[in-house]
């Protein structure tokens, strides 16, 4: 699971510098995986979208490989 902060700026900061926009505007967060992180942010009035994602086949590598061969 991970949380990604999305800035209003489309271009990736170059040379390791951080967009000032990112630091000076309210964060908007896409949370992928564990819902508890999204819930915590929501409780702090942070704009967050939760994506209910988990590894295919519960992380079973053999089944995931089979699925990759049997699905579009």
Q: Are 47 and 25 in contact (CB under 8 A)?
A: no
The pattern of x and - marking residues 3 through 32 that bind another protein according to CB under 8 A reads: ------------------------------
66 contributes a contact to another protein by CB under 8 A: yes
Q: Identify which range of 10-18, 20-28, 32-40, 60-68 contacts another protein by CB under 8 A.
A: 60-68
- Taking the CA atoms of 20, 23, 28 and 29 in sequence, report the sign of the dihedral they define: positive
Round to whole Å and give the CA distance between 5 and 53.
Answer: 17
Give residues in contact with another protein (CB under 8 A).
54, 56-58, 60, 62-63, 66-72
């Amino acid at each position: 699971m991970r949380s990604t902060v999305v800035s209003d700026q489309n271009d990736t900061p170059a040379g390791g510098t951080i967009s000032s926009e990112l630091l000076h505007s309210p964060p908007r967060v896409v949370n992928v995986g564990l819902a508890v992180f999204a819930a915590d942010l929501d409780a702090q009035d942070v704009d967050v979208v939760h994506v209910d994602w988990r590894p295919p086949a519960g992380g079973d590598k053999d089944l995931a490989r089979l699925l990759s061969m049997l699905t579009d």
